[in-house]
Structure 1
Amino acid sequence: MRQSSTRLGRANLDRLPAGIWRPAYDRSRVTSGIVHLGLGAFHRAHQAVVIDDCLAAGSTSWGIVGASLRSPDTRDALASQDHLYTVAIRSAEGTEHRVIGALLDSVVARENPAQLVGQMADPATRIVSLTVTEKGYCHTPQTGDLDERHPDIVHDLNDPDTPRSAPGFLVAALARRRAQGLSPFTVLCCDNLAANGHTVQRIVTQFAAVRSKDLGKWIADVVAFPSTMVDRIVPETTDDDRDAVSSALGMRDAWPVMTEPFTQWVVEDRFTAGRPDFASAGVELVSDVKPFELMKLRLLNASHSALAYLGYLSGYETIADTMQDAHFARLAAQVMEEAAVTLTMPVGTDLAAYRTSLLKRFANPALHHRTWQIAMDGSQKLPQRLLGAMQDRLRKDLPIATHALAVAGWMRYVTATDEQGRAIDVRDPLAAEFAALAREAGPVAERLAPALLAVAKVFGPFGAEPRLREAVTTALGRLYKDGARRAVEAHVTA
Structure 2
Amino acid sequence: MTEQAAKRLDTEALHHLPAYIQRPAYDRADTRIGIVHLGVGAFHRAHQAVYIEDALALDPDWAISGVSLNSRDVRDALAPQDGLYTLALLGETPQLRVIGALREVLAARDEGARVLDRLADADVRLVTLTITEKGYCLSAGELDFAHPDIAHDVLYPTTPVSAIGYLVEGLRRRKEQRLPPFTVLSCDNLPDNGGKLRRAVVAFAQRLDHDLACWIAENGAFPRSMVDSITPATDDALRARVADELGFVDAWPVQREAYTQWVVEDAFCNGRPPLERVGVAMSNDIAGYDRAKLRLLNAPHSALAYLGSLMGIETVAQAMATPELARFVERLMREAIVPNVAAPQGFDAPRYVEAILARFRNPAIQHRLSQIAWDGSQKIPVRLLGTIGDALAAGRPIDVLCLPVAGWLQFVRRQARNGVSLVDPMNDVLSQIGRRTTGDATHDVDAFLALDAVFGSLAGDGRFATALRDAYAALGDGSPEAVSAALA
> How much does 1:151 deviate?
5.5
Describe how 1:324-339 pairs up with structure 2 within 5 A.
324-333=321-330, 336-337=333-334, 338-339=336-337
> How much does 1:320 deviate?
1.4
**1:125-152 Cα deviation digits (max 9, x unpaired):** 2111122334443446xx7444556555
Q: What's the counterpart of residue 361 of structure 1?
A: 359
Q: What's the counterpart of residue 75 of structure 1?
A: 75
Describe how 1:54-203 pairs up with structure 2 within 5 A.
54-57=55-58, 59-92=59-92, 94-113=93-112, 115-139=114-138, 144-146=141-143, 152-153=149-150, 156-157=153-154, 160-203=157-200
Q: What's the counterpart of residue 272 of structure 1?
A: 269
**What is the rounded CA distance, in whole Å, between the counterparts of 2:377 and 2:403 in structure 1?**
16
Q: Residues 249, 290 of structure 1: CA spacing in aligned structure 2 closer, same or farther, 3 A cutoff?
A: same
Q: What's the counterpart of residue 459 of structure 2?
A: 466
Describe how 1:206-355 pairs up with structure 2 within 5 A.
206-209=203-206, 214-308=211-305, 311=308, 316-333=313-330, 336-337=333-334, 338-345=336-343, 349-355=347-353
Report the 3-state secondary structure (helix = DSSP H, G, I; strand = E; otherwise coil) of the residue aligned with 1:240: helix
> How much does 1:33 deviate?
1.0
Report the 3-state secondary structure (helix = DSSP H, G, I; strand = E; otherwise coil) of the residue aligned with 1:274: coil
Q: Residues 114, 194 of structure 1: CA spacing in aligned structure 2 closer, same or farther, 3 A cutoff?
A: same
Q: Residues 453, 216 of structure 1: CA spacing in aligned structure 2 closer, same or farther, 3 A cutoff?
A: farther
Report the 3-state secondary structure (helix = DSSP H, G, I; strand = E; otherwise coil) of the residue aligned with 1:341: helix
**What is the rounded CA distance, in whole Å, between the counterparts of 1:171 and 1:251 in structure 2?**
40
**1:23-62 Cα deviation digits (max 9, x unpaired):** 12221222211111222222212211111111122x2121
Q: What's the counterpart of residue 440 of structure 2?
A: none
Report the 3-state secondary structure (helix = DSSP H, G, I; strand = E; otherwise coil) of the residue aligned with 1:241: helix
> How much does 1:17 deviate?
0.7
> How much does 1:226 deviate?
1.9
Q: Tell which deviates more after alignment, 154-163 or 169-178.
A: 154-163
Describe how 1:9-20 pairs up with structure 2 within 5 A.
9-20=10-21
Pair 1:7 & 2:5 matched: no
> How much does 1:275 deviate?
1.0
TM-score by length of 2: 0.79
**What is the rounded CA distance, in whole Å, between the counterparts of 1:160 and 1:384 in structure 2?**
38
**What is the rounded CA distance, in whole Å, between the counterparts of 1:39 and 1:7 in structure 2?**
20
**What is the rounded CA distance, in whole Å, between the counterparts of 1:199 and 1:185 in structure 2?**
17
Q: Residues 165, 478 of structure 1: CA spacing in aligned structure 2 closer, same or farther, 3 A cutoff?
A: farther
Q: What's the counterpart of residue 45 of structure 1?
A: 46
> How much does 1:11 deviate?
1.9
* Maintained 8 Å contact 1:51/1:63: yes
* Maintained 8 Å contact 2:37/2:129: yes
Matched length: 477
> How much does 1:188 deviate?
1.4
> How much does 1:355 deviate?
0.8
Q: Residues 375, 123 of structure 1: CA spacing in aligned structure 2 closer, same or farther, 3 A cutoff?
A: farther
**1:408-429 Cα deviation digits (max 9, x unpaired):** 87799999x79865677x5xxx
Q: Residues 420, 379 of structure 1: CA spacing in aligned structure 2 closer, same or farther, 3 A cutoff?
A: closer
* Maintained 8 Å contact 2:417/2:435: no
What is the CA RMSD across the aligned residues, in angstroms? 4.2
**What is the rounded CA distance, in whole Å, between the counterparts of 1:88 and 1:349 in structure 2?**
28
> How much does 1:63 deviate?
0.8
Query: Which of structures 1 and 2 has the bigger CA Rg?
Result: 2
**Counterpart amino acid of residue 263 in structure 2:** V
* Maintained 8 Å contact 1:31/1:61: yes
Report the 3-state secondary structure (helix = DSSP H, G, I; strand = E; otherwise coil) of the residue aligned with 2:222: coil
* Maintained 8 Å contact 1:188/1:226: yes
**Counterpart amino acid of residue 344 in structure 1:** A
**1:271-300 Cα deviation digits (max 9, x unpaired):** 111112223323333444443343223212
TM-score by length of 1: 0.79
> How much does 1:75 deviate?
2.8
Q: Residues 287, 436 of structure 1: CA spacing in aligned structure 2 closer, same or farther, 3 A cutoff?
A: closer
> How much does 1:471 deviate?
9.0
Q: Residues 392, 452 of structure 1: CA spacing in aligned structure 2 closer, same or farther, 3 A cutoff?
A: same
Q: Tell which deviates more after alignment, 7-16 or 63-72.
A: 63-72
> How much does 1:340 deviate?
2.4
